[in-house]
Amino acid sequence: MDAEALTVLRGSVRVPTSKPHTQRALLMAALADGESTIRRPNVCSESTLVQEAATALGSRFEAQGEQLVVRGVAGRPQRPAALLQVAGSGFALRHLLPIAALAPAPCVLSGSRQLAARPLQPLLDALAGLGGRAEPADRDLVLPIATWSTGLTGGRLDVPADETSQFVSALMLTAPYAAGPVRIGIPGVLVSKHYIRMTGEMMARFGAHVMVADDLRTIEVEPSGYRATKILVGPDVTSLFYFVAAAVVADADILVEDVELGEDLFLDSAVALGRRLGVRITQEGTNLRIRSGERPAEQVEIDASDLPTLVPALAAVASSLPHGMVLQGARHIHHHKTSRLQVVLDELARLGRVLRPHYRDGQLDGFETDCVEPAAAEQVDAQGDHRNFMALFLATLAVERPVHVLGANTLSTSFADFLTCFQTLTTTPARV
pLDDT tens, 286-311? 999 999 999 999 999 999 999 999 99
pLDDT at residue 231 greater than cutoff 60: yes
Which one of 217, 232, 247 terminates a domain?
232
Q: Provide the residue count of the chain.
A: 432
Establish if 5 belongs to a structural domain.
no
Which range, 146-150, 326-330, 375-379, has the best average confidence (pLDDT)? 326-330
**Mean pLDDT of the residues in the chain:** 93
Buried-exposed string 142-172: b where 16+ CB fall within 10 A, e elsewhere: bbbbebeebbbebbeebbbbbbbbbbbbbbb
CA separation for the pair 396, 429 (Å, rounded)? 12
Is 139 part of any domain?
A: yes
Domain that includes residue 75, residue range: 19-232
Percent of residues, the chain, with pLDDT higher than 90: 87
How confident is residue 4, by pLDDT bands cut at 50, 70 and 90? low
For residue 31, what is the domain's CATH number?
Answer: 3.65.10.10
Both 281 and 218 in one domain: the answer is: no
Q: Higher model confidence: residue 337 or residue 168?
A: 168
pLDDT interval class at 2 (50, 70, 90):
very low
Tell whether 171 and 267 lie within a shared domain: no
pLDDT more than 70, % of the chain = 97
Does the residue 10 lie in any domain?
Answer: no
Residue 64 predicted with pLDDT over 90: yes
Q: What is the mean pLDDT of residues 19-26?
A: 98
Does residue 1 form part of some domain? no
Mean pLDDT of 361-371: 94
Report the pLDDT averaged over residues 70-76. 98
In a domain, 407, yes or no: yes
Q: What is the reported pTM? A: 0.93
**pLDDT tens profile 249-282:** 999 999 999 999 999 999 999 999 999 999 999 9
Q: Which of 175, 201, 232 is the last residue of a domain?
A: 232
Together in a domain, 240 and 155 = no
Under the banding of pLDDT at 50, 70 and 90, the label for residue 338 is low
Task: State residue 428's pLDDT score.
Answer: 56
Q: Which amino acid is at 328?
A: Q
Do 281 and 135 lie in a common domain? no
Residue 341: pLDDT band with limits 50, 70, 90 = very high
Q: What pLDDT score was predicted for residue 116?
A: 86
**Closest C-alpha among 239, 279, 207 to residue 1:** 279
On whether residue 382 sits in a domain, the answer given is: yes
Are 201 and 279 in a shared domain? no
> What pLDDT score was predicted for residue 3?
39
For residues 208 and 280, state if they share a domain: no
- CA-CA distance, 59 to 245, in Å (whole number)? 39
Q: Do 277 and 384 belong to one domain?
A: yes
For 103-143, the pLDDT digits (tens) are 999 999 999 888 888 889 999 999 999 999 999 887 777 88
Cα 422 to chain center, whole Å? 21
Domain boundary among 178, 200, 232: 232
Q: Are β-strands 182-185 and 145-147 bridged in parallel, bridged antiparallel, or unpaired? A: unpaired
Q: Judge whether residue 432 has pLDDT over 60.
A: no
Q: By mean pLDDT, which of 218-232, 329-343, 366-380 is the weakest?
A: 329-343
Mean pLDDT of all residues in 337-361? 92
Tell whether 221 and 247 lie within a shared domain.
no
Q: Specify the pLDDT at position 250.
A: 95
Q: Mind listing the pLDDT tens digit for each residue in 413-425? A: 999 999 999 999 9
Does 217 share its domain with 94?
yes
Q: What's the structural domain count of the chain?
A: 2
Asked whether residue 194 is assigned to any structural domain, the reply reads yes
Residues 207 and 327 in one domain: no
State residue 218's pLDDT score: 98
Residue 382 CA to residue 338 CA, distance in Å, equals: 9
> Taking residues 4-23, what's their average pLDDT?
92
243 and 332 co-located in one domain:
yes
> Per-residue pLDDT tens for 135-177?
988 777 788 999 999 999 999 999 999 999 999 999 999 999 9
Residue 9 lies in a domain: no
